[in-house]
Structure 1
Amino acid sequence: MTVTDARELTGEIADDGRGGKTGAGLAELRRLLADVFGILVEDAAGDADRSRFRGRKYRLGQILGGYLDLWQGVSLAGRIADTSYVLLAPALGSADAVLDDGPVAVLPGHVLVAHPGEEMRLTVGRRCRLWIVNIPLSAIHIALSALGEATTTRPLRFDRLMNIRQGPGQSWVRMATLIRQELESEGALVEVPDVARAYEQALVETLLRVHRHTYSDQIERQSAPGVGDGGGQHRDHWPRVLRAVLQQIDEHPTRRYRIDDLAGDAGVSTKTLQKYFREHLGVTPIEYLRIRRLDLAHQALLAADRSTTNVETVMRRLGFRSYGHFSRHYQQRFGQLPGDTLRLPPG
C-alpha cells in the first residue's frame, strides 16, 4: 500500500452540443472527485463551452486530498461518500454549497465540513482554486480513541465552517501546509511509513481539538489537569447505576449479557436502565455493548499481524457469532470492511 503520494491532475470538460457536458475531462473529474475526494457526483454543468481544470492530489496514509484549479465556473450535484468526511476550502475565488442544513457560502479563509452520506450541491466560481481533503471515518475513530473517547455512541458532527485565518484553525492549516510541503519534497522523512502515520494521526487529532464537534466538550475535559485515563470527568454527573453498568461492560466486554441481568445486578428495573442509557448515551445497553465490541475489534485489527491473525478469530474472541452481522455493523461504524482494516500497515 502506498503510504504517501503527490501527483498532478489535468483535464478538460467539453460541451457535447446538446446542452450537456462530456469528454474525458468530465469523466476524469467525476472519477477524481469520487475516488480521491469522496464526492460522488451525479450531475455536472459548466458556464462555458470548455471548462479546463488542473490540480494536484496527495496521499498521507488513509487521508486523500489536494486542490483543483477551475478556470470556468462549474456546478456539481451529488453526495458525500458514506465512508468519509470532506473538507472544502477555496484558496482563490469562492464556492457556494447547499447541504442538509441549507445554503453555505464558502470564502477564502474558511473551511466547509461535509459529513458522511450528506447530499450536496456545489457551485464553484470562475478562477477558483479549491482545496479538498477526504478524511475516512476510520481515521476519525482512531484519533478519537487516542484522545480518550474510545467509545462513541452518536455520529460525530462538526460545526459547518472553520475559520482558518485566525485562532486554532490557523494552527491546523499551518500543520497541513507543512505536511504538504513534505509530501512534495523528494526524499523527505514523511516517506518513512512510521513518520507518515504519525503525521496523519497528528493532523486528524489536531482537527478534533481545534474545530467544534459532537465530542469537543468530552475531549476538553479529558485533557484537563487531574483527569486520569480511566474514566473522564464527563461521566461524573451521570447516575451511579449507569456508571456501574458501563464499568461492568467496559471491563468485561466479551461476556454474554442480557438486559434483565444488567438491570438486576444494578438494582433497578429494565425500564429505568434503558431510560438512563437513552438519556445520557442515546443508545440501548445492548447497542452500547455492540459499539464497545466493534471499537475493540477495530483496535485489534489495526494492531494485528495479518500473517498470523484473521478477521474471524478477532470477531469470535469479542463475542460476535455471525460474520455477516459483524461485517455490516463494522462497515457502518468505520467506513471499511474488517478485512480492509487488517490489511492496513500496523501502527
Structure 2
Amino acid sequence: MGQVASRTGSVAVTSTTVDDALRVGTDVYHPHRLRLLDESRPFDMRLRAVTYGPVTVGKLSYAGPVRIETDDMEVAYEANVPLAGELGCEAGTERFVASPDRAVLFGPDGPTSMTGFGRGRPILGVRLDRVAVEHTLADLAGASEPLRAAPLVDLTTGRGREWWLVLRSLLDLLSGFDDRSSLVHNELVMRPLTQSLLTGMLLAADHPLLPRLLEPAEVHLPGTVRRAQDIMHDRAAEPLSVPDVARATGLSTRGLQAAFRQHLGLTPIEYLRRVRLERAHADLITADPAVATVAQVAHRWGFTHVGRFAAHYRARYGTSPSVALRSGS
C-alpha cells in the first residue's frame, strides 16, 4: 500500500466561469469534466470545503443543472449526498439515483458521472483517500484488498442513518465556515471527526468484508496487554504502529484495541503516545538548549508534526516543550 494523504486546509470559492470551477474542483476533489445542461442561466458554482488528513468534506452547489464526469479517480473513493432533489449517477455501466435518503459511493476505478444540481439543490461531497480507506479496512477486517462496496448507502435506517448523523454534524459545522474561530477550523476537533466518518462509511456500506467488521472483537487476557505495553516501551523510538504491535502480540488490531479499552481505558495509540511523551519529556528537561531543539526531540520519539507534539505535551504537562527545554522543568 502507498502513503496516506496528510493534507490540511480549507477553501471557500464562488466561481462564475466553467474554467475556474473546473480548476477549483480538480484541486479540492479530482480531475473531471463539466457540462452545462441549461446554458441560458448565468454560471455560478459555490464550494465550501475542509480537508483534514485523508478526508475532504464540502458543500457544493451550481446555479443551474450540470453533468459532472470523471475517468478513473485512482487515488480516492467519493461519497455524495444530495441535500435536496435527486442526482442521476453512473459508475461504469451501472445507473442509479442518489437522494437525501441515499448516498452514492464511487470507487477509485472506472468512469463516473453525476447529473442534476441547480439552484437549491446542493450536495455534500466527501473525498476519501484510497490508501487510508484500504489501510483502515485492512486493520479492521484483517484483509488487504480494495473496498468493493454497493454504490448506494441507505441513510434512513441502521448504521446508514448513524453514518448520516456523522455527516450531518460535519455539514452543520460547515455553516460556521466564515468564522475562523469555528470548530470547523480546529484540527483537534476535525481530525477525529473525519476519521469517524471514514470508519463509519466502512460500517454503513454493503461490501463483502462487512461481516468481519461487525463481529464482536475478542477481548484477551491482561497478559496480552502487558506484552503490548512491553513492546511499546522497548520500541518507542521506532516507527511503530498499532498494527505492528497487534501482529507482534498475535492479535488483530480490533482485538488489541478492545483489550486496551477494557483493561486500561485507553486506545493503543493513546498509550503509545503517552509512552513517547514521557520519553520526550525526560529528554527535554535534561537536554542542553544550546544544542538540542524541540523538533529534534519530537522527531526522535516519533512525533513528525511539531505543532501537534506541542499540543499533546501541553495537555499532559501543563507547559510548552520549548519552556521545558529552556527551564529544565
Deviations 1:71-125 (A, max 9, x none): 3221232225211111122112222122124111222311000011320132225
How many residues are paired up?
Answer: 235
Whether the 8 Å CA contact 1:208–1:216 is kept in 2: the answer is yes
| Match of residue 265 from structure 1 | none
Q: Does 1:31 align with 2:23?
A: yes
The 2-side partners of 1:78 and 1:28 are apart by 17
The 1-side partners of 2:197 and 2:58 are apart by 15
Deviations 1:286-339 (A, max 9, x none): xxxxxxxxxxxxxxxxx9x996899xxx9xxxxxxxxxxxxxxxxxxxxxxxxx
| Match of residue 199 from structure 2 | 205
Whether the 8 Å CA contact 1:51–1:70 is kept in 2: the answer is no
Deviations 1:125-166 (A, max 9, x none): 543312211111233245335x633x5332112211011133
Whether the 8 Å CA contact 2:202–2:210 is kept in 1: the answer is yes
Whether the 8 Å CA contact 2:79–2:104 is kept in 1: the answer is yes
Tell me which of 136, 141, 160 is aligned to 1:169: 160
Structure 2's unaligned 5+ residue stretches are: 1-5, 225-246, 250-275, 277-293, 313-329
Q: How does 1:138-287 map to 2 (within 5 A)?
A: 138-144=131-137, 148-149=140-141, 151-185=142-176, 186=179, 187-189=181-183, 191-221=185-215, 223-224=216-217, 226=218, 228=220
Structure 1's unaligned 5+ residue stretches are: 13-24, 231-249, 253-302, 315-341
Over the matched positions of the two proteins, sequence identity in percent amounts to 16
The verdict on how the C-alpha distance between 1:184 and 1:122 changes in structure 2, with shifts beyond 3 A counting, is closer
Q: Return the letter of the residue paired with 2:14.
A: T
Shift in Å at residue 198 of structure 1? 1.5
The verdict on how the C-alpha distance between 1:158 and 1:71 changes in structure 2, with shifts beyond 3 A counting, is same
CA RMSD of aligned residues (A): 3.9
Q: State the TM-score, normalizing by the size of structure 1.
A: 0.56
Deviations 1:41-91 (A, max 9, x none): 245243223452333322141211212222322123222521111112211
Q: Return the letter of the residue paired with 2:193.
A: Y
SS of residue matched to 1:148? helix
SS of residue matched to 1:48? coil
SS of residue matched to 2:148? coil
Q: Return the letter of the residue paired with 1:135.
A: L
Q: Does 1:11 align with 2:15?
A: yes
| Match of residue 74 from structure 2 | 82
Whether the 8 Å CA contact 1:96–1:103 is kept in 2: the answer is yes
Whether the 8 Å CA contact 1:36–1:65 is kept in 2: the answer is no
Q: Does 1:53 align with 2:44?
A: yes
Whether the 8 Å CA contact 1:110–1:164 is kept in 2: the answer is yes
SS of residue matched to 1:92? coil
The 2-side partners of 1:206 and 1:47 are apart by 37
Whether the 8 Å CA contact 2:81–2:99 is kept in 1: the answer is yes
Whether the 8 Å CA contact 2:66–2:116 is kept in 1: the answer is yes
Q: Return the letter of the residue paired with 2:161.
A: Q
The 2-side partners of 1:138 and 1:197 are apart by 17
The 2-side partners of 1:76 and 1:193 are apart by 31
Whether the 8 Å CA contact 2:137–2:144 is kept in 1: the answer is no
Tell me which of 99, 107, 132 is aligned to 2:125: 132
Whether the 8 Å CA contact 1:70–1:126 is kept in 2: the answer is yes
Whether the 8 Å CA contact 1:86–1:113 is kept in 2: the answer is yes
The verdict on how the C-alpha distance between 1:112 and 1:94 changes in structure 2, with shifts beyond 3 A counting, is same
Q: Return the letter of the residue paired with 1:207.
A: M
Whether the 8 Å CA contact 2:75–2:129 is kept in 1: the answer is yes
Whether the 8 Å CA contact 1:57–1:66 is kept in 2: the answer is yes
| Match of residue 96 from structure 2 | 104
| Match of residue 241 from structure 2 | none
The 2-side partners of 1:191 and 1:125 are apart by 27
